[in-house]
Amino acid sequence: MSTKINRRKALGSITLGAAAALSNLSFANIRIDKNRLLEEKLPVRISMNCSTLLHYKLPADIQIDLIANAGFDGIEMWMSDIKTFIEKGGSTATLRNKLKEHNLVLENIIGFSKWCSDNAEERSKAMAQLREEMEITKELGGKFIATPVQGIDKIDPNKYDQYAERYAAILKLGDETGVTPILELWGMGALHRISDCAQIAIATGHPKATMLLDFYHVHRGGNDWDTIDLINAGKLPVIHMNDYPASPAYNLLTDADRVLPGDGVCDFDTIIPKLYQAGFRGGFSVELFNKTYWNTMDAPTLMKTCYEKTREVVTKALNSK
């Protein structure tokens, strides 16, 4: 890409100052009696990432039914599950209709491509893959696709402009397809610092540049939430929801250590109000890979447990300030 990326151009992307503009917002509309917890409408969505159902090996249409029946507002589907469903005779129209019937928001699609590779040929193949997967996402009625940094082992501080150019390239592809790629932070991956994530997104100068954060990954990557309100959280469509234990140390944690919201030590009562005040109105989407849950609960029980615990944590947090 020959276009120069101007770091000063992107004030309209992920920008500072949202907290001040929203500081007078009230939580009055969500102050509820705990006994009516599951009857009240929240100003955010409670959603489910289908990774939590990975162990059960369920078809994509059954996943939608289970998640909707548990009470969730939204869903993150995996592209691999969708492609398998289509290969076995299903269609995107079937899945789209099912999502519509259940009134489920398709938060995004989880896909993996090496769009950020240092190898030009690898990036070219990734662009072709992303275009196909964006078209599938569009057919499902989705507007976002998750794009973790793939193809590099670590961030090179001398290449921020190149990373921004590569993200800008897939954002342009998103303009063409109508599906926006979300720059995803991974606590154990190359892009594990919120500051790096924000710098790359801002430097694109693209108005739809955005980030996908995750409570576990933020902690696992050695970040904290003290300055998260510098980001316009209204630009974040979804945040992955999970909790983590006090031990082992953050840098020794694995995906399998994630626990249900409220069962770990994450300070939701501080972080969620801060995100709300900074503009977040998207989906808190539960993402777990915990074998203990898979071995002790069937899929419907796990879905219901995830929904009720997550909703309780979010409601309590929003009422805590």
Task: Give residue-wise pLDDT tens across range 187-229.
Answer: 889 999 999 999 999 999 999 999 999 999 999 999 988 988 8
pTM of structure: 0.87
Would you say residue 109 has pLDDT above 70?
A: yes
8 Å CB contact between 207 and 12: yes
pLDDT tens per residue across span 242-265: 999 999 999 999 999 999 999 999
Give yes or no for residue 38 having a pLDDT over 60: no
The pLDDT value given to residue 320: 83
Two structure tokens written together for 243: 């909790």
pLDDT at 34 over 50: no
**Closest among 163, 154, 241 to 198, alpha carbons compared:** 163
Residue 1 reports pLDDT greater than 90:
no
User: 130 and 170 in contact (C-beta within 8 Å)?
Assistant: yes
Quick check: 12 pLDDT over 50? no
pLDDT of amino acid 39: 52
Q: Residue 117's pLDDT is what?
A: 96
- Computed over every residue of the chain, the mean pLDDT equals 89
DSSP 172-222: HHHHHHT-EEEEE--TTSS---HHHHHHHHHHT--TT--EEEEHHHHHHTT
